[in-house]
Amino acid sequence: MSGLKTNNAVIRWIEYRLPIFSFIDHAVGSGYPTPRNLNYWWNFGSLAGLALVIMIMTGIMLAMQYTAHVAFAFDSVERIMRDVNSGWLIRYIHTNGGAFFFIVVYIHIFRGLYYGSYKAPRELLWILGVAILLLMMATAFMGYVLPWGQMSFWAATVITNLFSAIPLVGESIVTWLWGGFAVGNPTLNRFYALHYLLPFVIVGAVVLHIWALHRFGSSNPLGIEANGPQDKIPFHPYYTAKDAFGVGVFLLLFAGIVFFAPNLFGEPDNYIPANPLSTPAHIVPEWYFLPYYAILRAIPDKLLGVIAMFGSILILFVLPWIDRSPVRSAKFRPIYKQFFWIFLADCIVLGYIGAKPPEGIFLIIGRLATAYYFLHFFIVFVLSYVEPRRPLPNSIGEAVLKGGGAPSAAVAREKA
Amino acid sequence: MKNLTAAALAAVVAIGAGQAVAAEGAALPKYDWSFSGVFGQFDRAELQRGLQVYREVCSACHGLQYVAFRNLEALGYSEDEIKEMSAEYSVADGPNDEGDMFERPGRASDYFPSPFPNAKAAAAANNGAAPPDLSLMAKARPGGPDYVRGLLLGYEDPPAGFEALEGLNYNIYFPGNQIAMAAPLFDEAVEYTDGTEATAEQMATDLASFLMWTAEPYLEKRHSMGVKVILFLLVFTGILYAAKRKVWSDLH
């Protein structure tokens, strides 16, 4: 994988002065050696990148038509839906794109949890990923406020009010966030400014994420490091082809929702203009926030609830040091594997509870599920010391090619 | 003992269900709309009848502020018909050269004028509850068009012992069961220009369909474009899968 070989004089001329072609080749081309055994769960990284690009492109188009003012925001969105050429399509892609972005990223995260992708030496790669999740949540929340419907307004009110739980300075912080003494025009304006800014901060974090990824390369389903050419294949054409197929499947599902159920993820109340004098019967966040909402409401004390809610994500930052098992993949950790599935089920239960009113049986289940969420990390900590492990294969090539790992055509292609 | 437990359980469930009905309204009957489903499209005659119901009944109290007369072309009206229809409305315009606001006949580019100058005036004239604008109603309530249709047909005599508040009406589908709007539709409330028999059910269905169009005017384009996009993606994804298989064939 030496320097770029090309017969194109223009490319050679540019490459000599600005080696951008070899840079791309080393990033996502034939110059990036990748473990040969990545399964389809590894598609979700590139899909998340695609979702980000779709969101930014449609978002910029919407920004050209949207008016960030409490008196005009709702009307301007309706104008986009009715009078702007293909405005309905752009907006439905953008609103549902947010939901799909979260679906893809959550699968990406749970893949990392299952295969232990967060372990040394990829801790920083994982931490950057968690930071991206936090940025996405902030961006999505502020984007949800922009149409200025009933749910927009009341979600903004409820979420910003969480900061009032901070002792002593809470109330002042909330006033500062609002830019006034209630959610109003200054709030909408700054949310719009930040909703436009944060996606580009995400792009920056993604660049760092990919940079850190390329330091040691992708992890893989076996969780052992790829050694030598029989373990690796060039990213292009193998994974470009595999990712492209994944993109096709993703777009099929995405188009199915955009064209045939565009309001499936939305709340009907958000088609009612914001009214500070009328509180909706149930204030429900977007589905991707429901588990955190359940954790928040499970705890009777407001401050502790807010701490638990943020803690549920912040704990992921230190996961590489909680899980001390040297074995990465759950394939070779029979007990951890069981607890992984229980944890996933627990998160889904939390999501279900988040959509229900916090009373009766829902409150009890919500509290148990919240307790288990945090207990899981303690279990993982203990498991890493006491769990019996299955023997690891010697190399990826040996495991995948079943006896031998003879240099294949892929290696020949690399050398060519 | 077992029976007793079962009976107690059933009672709890029944009470729970009863409370749920009171809070959220009864389960809506599902209607088979022409526009539902992947290939669903609007029924032009139905939309035109729905418009007639809106104009002759609902528009006395409810606005349609996001719909312009020019949009009615999608219902199958000609340019002249739209001009004629819009001219029947009086629209506030101005200020003129003297600085005064004035009334003039509506034009195709005007939006449906709202019956009240503002929400306060609407509430004052309607026992304190402002009639909501209907443009987005079919998307702004759980159940959508089924809710609109159900609500219009959901007026019944209250069950024994149910005391409706002063000026409120009993409706099985309205959350809380007490709605400020009196039953708006009764048989023959309008005389359909196309000769369809104007039963309350017919009018409720036509109107709900019309309001789905006002809420989602690009529904037909969305459906037809969606079918093409999905067909394209199916073929394209098939090709991508074949390409992936071909590329990877030398590895296995």
Q: Percent of chain B at pLDDT above 70? A: 90
pLDDT band for position B9 (50/70/90)? very low
Nearest to A259 among B135, B229, B236 (CB): B229
**H or E segment at B91?**
strand B90-93
Q: Mark yes or no for CB contact A245/B244 under 8 Å.
A: yes
pLDDT band at A11 (very low <50, low <70, confident <90, very high): very high
Percentage, residues of chain A above pLDDT 90: 88
Residue A157 is predicted with a pLDDT of 95
Query: Which among A178, A184, A151, A143 is positioned nearest to A170, based on CA atoms?
Result: A178
C-alpha to C-alpha distance for B136 and A407, rounded to whole angstroms: 64
Give B70-126 pLDDT, tens digit per residue. Answer: 999 999 999 999 999 999 999 999 999 999 999 999 999 999 999 999 989 999 999
pLDDT at B154 over 80: yes
Residue B158 CB burial class (10 angstroms; 0-12, 13-18, ≥19): middle
Mark yes or no for CB contact B223/A413 under 8 Å: no
Closest CA to A121 of A45, A216, A255: A216
Question: How many Å apart are CA A67 and CA B237, to the nearest integer?
Answer: 38
Within 8 A of B119 by CB-CB distance, chain A residues are: none
* Whether A231 is catalytic: no
pLDDT above 90: residue B1: no
Question: Does B71 contact A82 at a Cβ distance shorter than 8 Å?
Answer: yes
Q: What angle do CA A236, A242, A246 make, to 5 degrees?
A: 135
Instruction: Look at residue B14 and tell me whether its pLDDT is greater than 50.
Output: no
Is A359 labeled as catalytic in the residue annotation?
A: no
Q: Tokens representing B160?
A: 């024994």
Instruction: Report the mean per-residue pLDDT for chain B.
Output: 90
Please enumerate residues of B whose Cβ is less than 8 A from a Cβ of A. 23, 38, 66, 71, 132, 135-136, 139-142, 144, 175, 215, 217-218, 222-223, 225-227, 229-230, 233-234, 236-237, 240-241, 243-244, 247-248, 250-251
- pLDDT of residue A414 exceeding 60: no
Beta-carbon contacts of A270 under 8 Å, excluding residues fewer than 6 positions away, are A147, A149, A150, A151, A152
Interface of A with B in 227-266 (CB under 8 A): 233, 237-238, 241-242, 244-245, 247-249, 251-252, 255-256, 258-260, 262-263
Q: What is the DSSP string of B56-82?
A: HTGGGT---TT-BGGGGGGGT--HHHH
**Element of type H or E holding B207:** helix B200-215
Which whole-number Å values give the CA distances from B151 to A247, A278, A282, B99, B159, in the listed order? 43, 21, 20, 45, 17
Note whether A398 and A405 are within 8 A (CB).
yes
Q: Catalytic residue at A337?
A: no
What's the pLDDT at A233? 94
| Residues 6 or more apart whose Cβ sits within 8 Å of residue A71 | none
Average pLDDT of chain A is: 93
Query: 3-state class of A33 per DSSP?
Result: strand
CA distance B237 to chain A (A): 5
Going by their DSSP bridges, the two strands B102-105 and B169-170 should be labelled as unpaired
- The per-residue pLDDT for A389 is 86
Q: CA-nearest residue of chain B to A37?
A: B251
Q: How far is CA A257 from CA A92, A101, B41, B110, B226, in A?
A: 9, 13, 17, 33, 9
For the question of residue A243 being annotated catalytic, the response is: yes
Closest residue to B140, CB basis, from A233, A244, A271: A271
- For residue B163, the model assigns a pLDDT of 83
Asked if the interface predicted TM-score (ipTM) of this complex is over 0.95, the answer is no
Q: Are A406 and A230 in contact (CB under 8 A)?
A: yes
Which of A26, A214, A236, A337 is catalytic? The answer is: A214
What is the arithmetic mean of pLDDT over A194-211? 98
Q: Is A202 exposed, middle or buried (0-12, 13-18, 19+ CB in 10 A)?
A: buried
User: What is residue B227's predicted lDDT score, i.e. its pLDDT?
Assistant: 98
Residue A404 has pLDDT above 50, yes or no: no
Closest C-alpha to A393, from A33, A37, A6: A37
For A248, which of B132, B223, B233 is closest by C-beta distance?
B233
CA A412, chain centre distance (Å) = 37
Phi–psi pair at A4, nearest 5 degrees: -70, 135
Residue type (1 letter), A292: Y
When mean pLDDT is compared across A52-61, A106-115, A386-395, the lowest value belongs to A386-395
CB–CB contact B251 A410 (8 Å): yes
What pLDDT does B23 receive?
A: 55
Tell me: pLDDT of A407 over 70.
no
Cross-chain residue pair A78–B251, CB shorter than 8 Å: no
Identity of the amino acid at A227: N
User: Cβ separation of B139 and A256 shorter than 8 Å?
Assistant: no
Chain A hits for B251, CB-CB cut-off 8 Å, are 36, 233, 238, 408-410
A214 is catalytic: yes
Q: In chain B, whose CA is at the least distance from the CA of A90?
A: B222
Residues A100-151: pLDDT tens digits? 999 999 999 999 999 999 999 999 999 999 999 999 999 999 999 999 999 9
Q: Which residues, other chains included, contact A276 with Cβ-Cβ below 8 Å and sequence gap of 6+?
A: A153, A182, A183
pLDDT for A266: 92
**What does residue B17 show for φ and ψ, rounded to 5 degrees?**
-65, -40
Q: How far apart are CA A235 and CA A223, in angstroms?
A: 18
Per-residue pLDDT at A352 exceeds 90: yes
Q: Helix, strand or coil for residue B184?
A: coil
Tell me what the mean pLDDT of segment B18-38 comes to. 77
- Please tell me the predicted confidence (pLDDT) of residue B252: 65
- Residue closest to A91 by CA, chosen among A51, A62, A50: A62
Residue B38's closest chain A neighbor by CA?
A260
Closest C-alpha among B209, B188, B194, B202 to residue B51: B209
Crossing angle of the two packed helices A185-216 and A123-145, in degrees rounded to 10: 160
- Please indicate whether, in this complex, the C-beta atoms of B142 and A233 are within 8 angstroms of each other: no
Going by pLDDT thresholds of 50, 70 and 90, the confidence category of residue B24 is low
User: Which residues, 6 or more positions from A376, have their beta carbon under 8 angstroms from its beta carbon?
Assistant: A339, A342, A343, A346
According to the model, what pLDDT value does residue A402 have? Answer: 64
Residue A397 token pair: 């090539």
Q: Calculate what percentage of chain A has a pLDDT beyond 70.
A: 95
Q: What is the mean pLDDT of residues A298-312?
A: 95
Q: Is the pLDDT of residue A226 over 90?
A: no
What's phi and psi for B178, nearest 5 deg?
A: -125, 115
How confident is the model at residue A405, as a pLDDT? 44
Residues A381, A322: contact at Cβ < 8 Å?
A: yes
- Token code pair at residue A289: 């926030």
- Rounded distance between C-alpha atoms, residue A373 and residue A64, angstroms: 42
A241/B139 touch (CB, cutoff 8 Å), yes or no: no
For range A84-97, the mean pLDDT:
98
Residue type, B219: L
